[in-house]
């Protein structure tokens, strides 16, 4: 604690004189933030008399400026210091839900602030250096202040500050080798390119410079509360910038953060929440004792019930409750709802779900806390799964309940992974979701799309489980599996026109007599241990993978045709800024939920490195350009995948296209059937009925598979799709 012997300067000299630009006063940044100046004026004699009579104090009444209309009777028992500027003040009521207060200032201390029109400030012990919008409610706030070096959660430094005060977020790695700087407009893609390409030092240095240039610099920015916001019963707010129509109630501590909020995407912070050094995205919610430190929350994301988000970036449309998340980069659409789940030092690439008891990341097998876990889209560790650093998982991997004692490298997508302790071996069933759980697979894609409540979609998020990234993973998995099958002596040669052969029976399953021909076969390099590693049902899985690829290729072509309502298409690469090269593009990147060809991202990195792109806004526009090219990029890839499957014949042949579209209708019908079959397993399990007196009671409580809302939705969507595909088939001269 220090004492000052110049109380008359209380509220002034916010910016030290040595940091003032030539010809500027201490209010130059405040005036820029406030925007167009109101018609402020000094007090009239009768107004001053009323203010003093109402037990108000001001250190310099000539520095108390108001705007017409002004009702001085609405200001009572308050103290003012420094330059005070008020908007219009009328005798009106402000209401938020059932909370209703009159406009005016009561029982508060206000220091060097701009306060907008018809705003209510009541029982606020200390408000310092804030610009407050119109029709704002501030009620029962213990401390609300801004320092002259406030960064509002951005990883920048101000004049006179050293690097030691810069706020970094240690994503993906506890040891800090992938640290990034948070900033107000950060997207998951920004965090990904910064954290992942660490070998490109010039590139990452450019990202740091861009962030510093946009968010660092001069001392003296004021905190802000946007118009229409409500803050009540909150203890400490320090160096915080709050957007419009935010709602903050009962928070413990908010320090050095930005809360992005708008009328269409209102953000809310509730009881017991503590947030320090970070960014809260538009439309976010943090409630019930949640804690966030060194963080970025993407749009429409939620923290609930004591969740801890530390040194992490949480992507859009995600919800975490009751759990602990440390040192992670999490792409959009992540669900984690259980108090006893733990996620550390990982890259989770979206559409993911963490079950109760899941402990993802144990550093006890390393001499330092520098291990990592990387998981593709659709990562789904089951109940009480424990995984060690360092491990890697392909997309849509389901991990069965168990303690996995060794590091894993599961390169087979859509797989079920099981630790068989009885046989002491690791078991992997490739294409498990396609063969046995299409309900979960289809619902995951639907859920990811349906829960996208972003009003402004700053980045495209791929929610289809079959896309170029997963198709390439399947092709790589087929190569691995066929090698292991050949070694085991069970690899059968493909037919001359295998793409057509893949159509023969989407429900392909071995007969009991053939089951012995599909035994578990040895595999390698799936686990950091020399014990047994096996592939279950390799013949069935091989056929399923090929069916998935064929479905992806034909469905992508059909969707492209249907979206354009055109029977005849030009070259799919036409009109793109950078056409796809000849041959199949095999390298695709999940760029924060957006799927892009790797060469486009490499080109973007070069543009940043060479200084062609100098702002985050220009980088985000480049993401949008990639998204605009994605439809044609994806179509060309799908056509190339079909040629890979068929061994030559192309979907550009109209006759072949029509044949495949007819087969696509059958596959879609099969998917609808399998979604129902997958869900019906829950209702047919005899143990599901043991808590009910009879079947009727069970159906009344749990419903039936046929009545399941998602089963019905799939049937409706597939019926509509079938109608659209039938029109394509009937269209004369339809071709790609």
Could you tell me which residue, 461 or 735, shows the higher pLDDT?
461
User: 75 near 61, Cβ under 8 Å?
Assistant: no
If we measure between CA atoms, which residue out of 252, 308, 261, 257 comes closest to residue 285?
261
Q: What angle do CA 680, 683, 684 make, to 5 degrees?
A: 85
pLDDT per residue as tens digits for the range 478-504: 999 999 999 999 998 887 666 666 665
Identify whether the C-beta of residue 382 lies closer than 8 Å to the C-beta of residue 404: no
Q: What is the DSSP code string of 88-120?
A: -B-S-EEEETTEEEESEEES-EEES-EE-TT-E
Confidence grade of residue 575 (pLDDT, cut at 50, 70, 90): very low
Q: 277 pLDDT exceeds 90? A: yes
- Residue 466 scores a pLDDT above 90: yes
* Collapsed DSSP state (helix, strand, coil) of residue 534: strand
For the cut 50, the answer to whether the pLDDT of residue 92 exceeds it is yes
pLDDT at residue 508, rounded to an integer: 54
Mean pLDDT for the chain overall: 91
Q: Name the pairing type of β-strands 588-591 and 594-597.
A: antiparallel
> Which pLDDT belongs to residue 706?
80
- Residue 734, pLDDT > 80, answer no
Query: For residue 648, what pLDDT band results from cuts at 50, 70 and 90?
Result: confident
**Residue 279: closest CA among 255, 295, 293, 266:** 295
pLDDT band for position 569 (50/70/90)?
A: very low
How confident is the model at residue 618, as a pLDDT? Answer: 98
DSSP-derived secondary structure for 217-260: B-S-PPEEE-TT-EEEEEEEEEEEEE-TT-EEES-SEEEEEEE-
**689-728 tens-digit pLDDT:** 888 888 888 878 887 878 788 888 888 888 888 888 888 8
| pLDDT of residue 222 exceeding 90 | yes
Those residues whose C-beta lies under 8 Å from the C-beta of residue 505, and which sit 6 or more positions away, are none
pLDDT above 60 (res 84): yes
Separation CA 348–CA 337 (nearest Å): 16
pLDDT tens for 331-381 read: 999 999 888 889 999 999 999 999 999 999 865 567 778 899 999 999 999
DSSP secondary structure, 38-88, as one string: P--BPPPHHHHHHHHHTT-EES-GGGEEB-SSB-GGGEES-EEES-EEE--
């Amino acid at each position: 604690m220090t004492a000052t012997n110049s109380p008359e300067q209380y509220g002034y000299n916010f910016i030290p004189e040595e940091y003032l630009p030539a010809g500027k006063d201490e209010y130059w940044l405040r005036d820029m933030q406030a925007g167009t100046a109101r018609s402020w004026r000094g007090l009239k004699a009768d107004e001053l008399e009323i203010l003093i009579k109402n037990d108000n104090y001001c250190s310099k009444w000539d520095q108390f400026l108001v705007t017409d209309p002004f009702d001085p009777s609405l200001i009572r028992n308050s103290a003012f210091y420094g330059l005070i500027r008020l908007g219009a003040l009328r005798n009106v009521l402000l209401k938020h839900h059932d909370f209703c207060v009159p406009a005016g200032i009561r029982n508060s201390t206000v220091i060097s602030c701009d306060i907008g029109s018809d705003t209510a400030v009541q029982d606020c012990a200390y408000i310092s250096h804030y610009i407050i919008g119109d029709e704002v409610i501030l009620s029962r706030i213990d401390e609300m202040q801004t320092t002259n070096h406030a960064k509002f959660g951005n990883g920048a430094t101000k004049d006179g500050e050293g690097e030691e005060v810069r706020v970094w977020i240690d994503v993906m790695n506890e040891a800090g080798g992938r640290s990034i700087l948070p900033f107000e407009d950060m997207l998951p893609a920004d965090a990904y390119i910064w954290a992942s390409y660490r070998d490109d030092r010039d590139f990452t240095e450019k990202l740091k410079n861009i962030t510093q240039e946009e968010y660092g610099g001069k001392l003296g920015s004021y905190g802000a509360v946007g118009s229409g916001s409500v803050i009540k019963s909150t203890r400490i707010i320090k160096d915080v910038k709050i957007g419009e129509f935010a709602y903050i109630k009962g928070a413990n501590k908010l320090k050095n953060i930005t809360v992005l909020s708008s009328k269409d995407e209102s953000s809310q912070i509730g009881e017991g929440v503590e947030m320090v050094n970070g960014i809260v995205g538009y439309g976010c919610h943090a409630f019930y004792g949640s804690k966030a430190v060194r963080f970025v929350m993407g749009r429409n994301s939620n923290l609930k019930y004591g969740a801890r988000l530390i040194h992490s970036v949480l992507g859009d449309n995600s919800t975490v409750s009751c759990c602990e998340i440390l040192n992670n980069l999490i792409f959009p659409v992540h669900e984690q709802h259980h108090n006893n789940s733990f996620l550390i030092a990982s890259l989770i690439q979206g559409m993911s779900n963490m079950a109760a008891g899941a402990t993802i990341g144990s550093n006890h097998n390393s001499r330092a806390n520098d291990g990592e876990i990387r998981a593709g889209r659709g990562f789904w560790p089951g109940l009480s799964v424990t995984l060690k650093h360092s491990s890697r998982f392909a997309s849509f991997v389901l991990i069965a309940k168990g303690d996995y004692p060794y590091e894993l490298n599961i390169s087979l997508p859509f797989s079920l992974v099981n630790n068989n302790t009885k046989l002491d071996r690791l078991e992997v069933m490739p294409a498990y979701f396609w063969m046995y759980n299409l309900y979960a697979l289809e619902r995951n894609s639907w859920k990811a799309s349906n829960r996208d409540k972003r009003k402004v979609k700053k980045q495209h998020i791929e929610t289809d489980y079959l896309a170029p990234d997963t198709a390439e993973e399947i092709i790589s998995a087929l190569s691995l599996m066929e090698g292991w099958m050949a070694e085991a002596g069970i690899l059968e040669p493909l037919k001359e026109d295998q793409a057509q052969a893949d159509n023969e029976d989407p429900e392909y399953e071995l007969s009991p007599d053939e089951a012995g021909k599909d035994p578990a076969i040895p595999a390698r390099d799936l686990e950091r241990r020399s014990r047994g590693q096996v592939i279950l049902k390799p013949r069935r899985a091989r056929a399923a993978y090929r069916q998935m690829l064929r479905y992806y290729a034909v469905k992508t072509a059909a969707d492209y045709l249907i979206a354009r309502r055109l029977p005849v298409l030009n070259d799919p690469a036409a009109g793109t800024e950078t056409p796809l090269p000849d041959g199949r593009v095999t390298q695709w990147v999940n760029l924060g939920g957006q799927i892009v060809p790797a060469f486009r991202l490499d080109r973007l990195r070069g543009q940043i490195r060479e200084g062609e792109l100098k702002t985050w806004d220009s980088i985000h526009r480049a993401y949008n350009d990639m998204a605009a090219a994605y439809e044609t990029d994806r179509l060309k890839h799908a056509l190339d995948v079909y040629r890979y499957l068929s061994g030559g014949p192309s979907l550009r042949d109209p006759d072949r296209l029509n044949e495949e579209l007819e087969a696509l209708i059958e596959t879609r019908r099969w998917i609808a059937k399998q979604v129902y079959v997958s869900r019906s397993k829950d209702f047919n399990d005899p143990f599901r009925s043991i808590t009910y007196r009879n079947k009727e009671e069970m159906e009344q409580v749990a419903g039936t598979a046929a009545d399941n809302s998602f089963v019905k939705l799939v049937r409706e969507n597939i019926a509509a799709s079938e109608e659209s595909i039938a029109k394509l088939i009937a269209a004369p001269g339809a071709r790609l």
